[in-house]
Chains A and B, each alone.
Chain A
């Protein structure tokens, strides 16, 4: 059927597609150039934010972040054996890239993959602070796992006894603000201090529970309040801790540290 004459040129399909394509092209150029030029600054911001979290977790207050970060003994650990691997570059290590890289990661079976991360890196950095006597004062481990919408990336700090939590903090996630996003709430994070990960037989016991945990709760040292209104995120945190403190996570490394000390 021929098109009626009174329809203006603007309505022709070719013109519509042409304008749409032109707008998309210009917009995508603007977006990509902004993203590409600003990327280096954003990355350095992220690294600084991560360093600040590490410094805060270790309780190194009173020093500028860069100086305090220098106090860390950062080593790469081979997860499977728990041994240090010194030939790998720690500073340029990217946990997200490593988990995708075929060479640097292994596939997890469904039974193993309780944190829902599909692949696990072969090597991960660990951050240690020694006390005046040369003993371990703080050990910080990178941890991550899937929450509700996104993968939660964070750090957990342990006391020198390798059992007690010194602090926990997440640096990257996109959980719902006000619900799952409350994993950034300082009050909730401070409730982790002094919690105990492992029981007397060095089995991971830590868990997130419904309702509040008081000193009167039986085994309260192994229990942390779940976040109300954020069941899936809470479960994600619970799962990722079980994974990273288990056999497939930092289990072998922590075992080696314990054996070396005794």
Chain B
């Protein structure tokens, strides 16, 4: 594999084929875990590990997976990896694993994992599949961290728990925006990011699903 193709597989999902902004996948966890950068970061690492490893493992056995049970096998592998990651978090990052609660286990239902397995890993060798999973995990992480940074900075005046903008209730000058701590704010932020990305990369703009068809010419009088 050439260095160029490696770079393409790894970096394309970060802007050009971002799983969140282009494919609109993985939104559920992006809303839930981005109130703080620490939880967003942990979730990003967990998801990236799971996607990369599950893609690689599925790709390794892709010639042996019977097509009629392929989805079940993909989910079984992803679910096992998620449990392992969850166990590690409970052992080495207990507080954060409590804050993330069910969202780590829900990585298994994250569409990014299944999408990469089904569209890429089933058709490509292990190493590119690993890179593809890694790239998609990083694409997810970039958006999650961007949303997490904005929400924590303007919602609680801190980053990773360190105070950046001193809050009025602690004697500072910054009045926090409470909306940013609620899940809908992540919707707004992701919407704005998608708008921004699509204004920049106009080829990502989707074709309208339907157009209103002109059935007859307007009457002469209105011309």
A residues contacting B by CB (< 8 A) are 10-11, 15-16, 19-20, 23-24, 27-28, 30-31, 34-35, 38, 41-42, 45-46, 48-49, 174, 177-178, 181
Contacts and interface: CB of A to CB of B under 8 A. Distances in A.
Given A27-B77, A31-B80, A31-B84, A19 B90 contact: no
A20 B83 contact: no
B66 interface: yes
A48 B95 CA distance: 11
A177 B94 contact: no
Contact of B66 (A16, A27, A35, A49): A16
B212 interface: no
Nearest to B78: A27
Contacts of A48: 94
Nearest to A178: B183
B191 to A, nearest CB: 21
6 contacts: A20-B73, A23-B76, A27-B79, A31-B80, A38-B90, A42-B94
A210 to B, nearest CB: 22
B68 interface: yes
Contacts of B76: 23-24, 27
B92 A30 contact: no
Contacts of B94: 42, 45-46, 48-49
A19 B72 CA distance: 11
B102 interface: yes
Contacts of B66: 10-11, 15-16, 19
A216 B200 CA distance: 57
Interface string B63-78: 0111111001100110
B87 A23 contact: no
A160 B2 CA distance: 73
Nearest to A184: B98
A258 to B, nearest CB: 36
Taking residues whose C-beta sits less than 8 angstroms from the other chain, chain B's interface range is 20 to 34
Contacts of B90: 38, 42, 45
B102 A23 contact: no
Contacts of B199: none
Contacts of B84: 30-31, 34
B73 A23 contact: yes
A226 B190 CA distance: 33
A41 B87 CA distance: 10
A175 to B, nearest CB: 9
Nearest to B101: A177
A56 to B, nearest CB: 13
Nearest to A36: B87
Given A30-B80, A31-B83, A181-B101, A41 B92 contact: yes
Contacts of B91: 38, 41-42, 45
Nearest to B100: A177
Given A30-B80, A34-B84, A177-B32, A19 B65 contact: yes
B88 interface: yes
Interface string B10-24: 000000000000000
A34 B73 contact: no
A174 B102 contact: yes
Contacts of A181: 101
Contact of A38 (B73, B88, B98, B102): B88
A253 to B, nearest CB: 30
Nearest to A181: B101
A24 B76 CA distance: 7
A20 B72 contact: yes
A89 B78 CA distance: 42
Q: What 4 A-B pairs have minimum CB-CB distances, sorted nearest first?
A: A27-B80, A45-B94, A41-B91, A38-B91
Contacts of B88: 34, 38
A181 B77 CA distance: 29
Nearest to B103: A177
Contacts of B64: 10, 19
Nearest to B84: A34
A222 B56 CA distance: 58
Nearest to A29: B80
A19 B69 contact: yes
A23 B76 CA distance: 8
Contact of B87 (A38, A174, A177): A38
A16 to B, nearest CB: 4
Interface string B35-62: 0000000000000000000000000010
A17 B92 CA distance: 37
